[in-house]
């Protein structure tokens, strides 16, 4: 059984208490990372149903369990290192519990529709009055203010409306159409922005002893991390388009078909290009003035890429990867997720670990990729069963008696 004492953390955020009222992915992704770094995270869920993603399956953790709908793999991906308690925040007693937990809380995370929590006095103004040092992080589709603040939003529509799908997928000339990324990347990136903002706010609080509200819109986050594509438009004044696996600013930097499959070539500078064409035995291309610099190659993309594509079809993927590696030219295979998680390198890097679940025993979890030299990323808790820690938190943190807890349960507050 995992250690149920949150004070035993050795992570860099040890001692930080987080109250997590978020669900789905952006908020839970953020709070999972905070938990990985040692924060004590209490996940507040709806009684009976819990986080929506508990039912986003199959696959389920325990397929034979009639209650399997509470433990979808999707939920497991974003909710380790948390303790779960069930609270009905629309019930007066439930509201009281949240407010009591906030009194010694450092961080509050929520992703309710804008205005929802104000009805219960759980908005920033209400909780800041109780705890002036509280850092209150709100994640929403379009932010807390503005003409679209009251609109709901999910990852796919944000990928579409925020510009990502317009640059993802094969080109029109190749018969392609706009595509979304294969994971909910708008949610995940919003969660990552939330984590950095929360940690920055904690540092600021050390100096001024005041908390603050953090506004994380999915839409604004999506726009922000379009990075070079944004600047390509703002500086070049040409609207970026879909280029399949091609890169708008680097050539050759894309996937090529081989005799038995595919590989991805990632030439990042002129020296690598010379090494690449020599490795491919493409005589003369290393000194061809049309391809001397990357800017030249971008301009002559339509001439160069077919020459490379024809050559790559002559040999199998493994042969090319071995040859390119010897020449120190960046290239890689198109691995499936099974290839990635089940290979020797995955075991070497401990990309998959086991963590003990309350009912299922040891279950897999994908490692946090961060390595600290002096502190540790922690794997204290498996994603919790719905309400697994409700009584523990009420009794040990708030001092509620068994009789009080039973009366709250009977009233539907927990």
Active site residues: 187
Question: Is 97:413 a contact under the CB 8 Å cutoff?
Answer: yes
- Spatial CA neighbour of 370 closest among 379, 382, 381: 379
Give kind and range of the element (H or E) at residue 390: helix 390-396
SS3 209: coil
Query: How far apart, in Å, are the Cα atoms of 307 and each of 281, 291, 310?
Result: 11, 12, 5
User: Do residues 328 and 271 lie in contact, with contact meaning Cβ atoms separated by under 8 Å?
Assistant: no
At residue 266's C-alpha, the angle toward residues 263 and 268, to 5°, is 170
DSSP tag of 225: T
Are residues 354 and 363 in contact, defined by beta-carbon separation less than 8 angstroms? yes
Grouping H, G, I as helix, E, B as strand and the rest as coil, residue 258 is coil
Torsion 217-222-228-232 (CA) sign: negative
Gap between the Cα atoms of 205 and 360, Å rounded: 40
**What DSSP state is assigned to residue 400?**
-
Residues recorded for the chain: 414
Q: Is the Cβ–Cβ distance between 57 and 74 less than 8 Å?
A: yes
CA–CA gap between residue 414 and residue 407 (Å, rounded): 9
Q: Are 380 and 40 in contact (CB under 8 A)?
A: no
């Amino acid at each position: 059984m995992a250690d149920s004492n949150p004070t035993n953390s050795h992570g860099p955020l040890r001692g930080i208490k987080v109250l997590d009222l978020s669900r789905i992915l952006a908020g839970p992704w953020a709070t999972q990372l905070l938990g990985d770094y040692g924060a004590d995270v209490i996940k507040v869920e709806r009684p009976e149903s819990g986080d929506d993603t508990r039912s986003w399956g199959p696959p389920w953790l325990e397929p034979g369990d009639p209650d399997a709908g509470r433990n979808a793999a999707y939920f497991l991906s974003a909710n380790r290192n948390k303790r779960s308690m069930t609270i009905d925040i629309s019930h007066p007693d439930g509201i009281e519990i949240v407010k009591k937990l906030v009194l010694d809380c450092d961080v509050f995370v929520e992703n309710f529709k804008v205005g929802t929590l104000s009805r219960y006095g759980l908005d920033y103004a209400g909780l800041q009055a109780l705890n002036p040092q509280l850092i209150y992080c709100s994640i929403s589709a379009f932010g807390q203010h503005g003409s679209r603040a009251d609109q709901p939003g999910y990852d796919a529509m944000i990928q579409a409306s925020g510009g990502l799908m317009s640059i993802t997928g094969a080109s029109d000339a190749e018969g392609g159409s706009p595509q979304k990324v294969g994971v909910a990347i708008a949610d995940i990136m919003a969660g990552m922005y939330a984590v950095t903002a929360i940690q920055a706010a904690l540092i600021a609080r050390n100096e001024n002893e005041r908390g603050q509200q953090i506004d994380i819109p999915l839409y604004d986050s999506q726009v922000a991390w379009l990075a070079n594509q944004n600047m390509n438009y703002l500086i070049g004044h040409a609207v970026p388009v879909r280029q399949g696996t091609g890169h708008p600013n680097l050539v050759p930097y894309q996937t090529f078909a081989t005799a038995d499959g595919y590989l991805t070539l990632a030439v990042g500078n002129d020296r690598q290009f010379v090494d690449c064409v020599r490795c491919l035995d493409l005589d003369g291309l290393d000194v061809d003035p049309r391809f001397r610099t990357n800017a030249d190659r971008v301009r002559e993309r339509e001439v160069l890429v077919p020459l490379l594509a024809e050559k790559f079809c002559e040999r199998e993927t493994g042969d090319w990867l071995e040859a390119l590696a010897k020449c120190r030219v960046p290239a890689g295979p198109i691995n499936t997720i099974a290839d990635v998680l089940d290979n020797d390198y995955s075991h070497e890097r401990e990309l998959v670990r086991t963590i003990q679940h309350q009912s299922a025993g040891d279950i897999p979890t994908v490692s946090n990729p961060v390595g600290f030299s002096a502190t540790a990323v922690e794997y204290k808790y498996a994603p919790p069963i719905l309400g697994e820690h409700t009584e523990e938190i009420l009794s040990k943190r708030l001092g509620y008696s068994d009789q009080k807890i039973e009366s709250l349960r009977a009233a539907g507050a927990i």
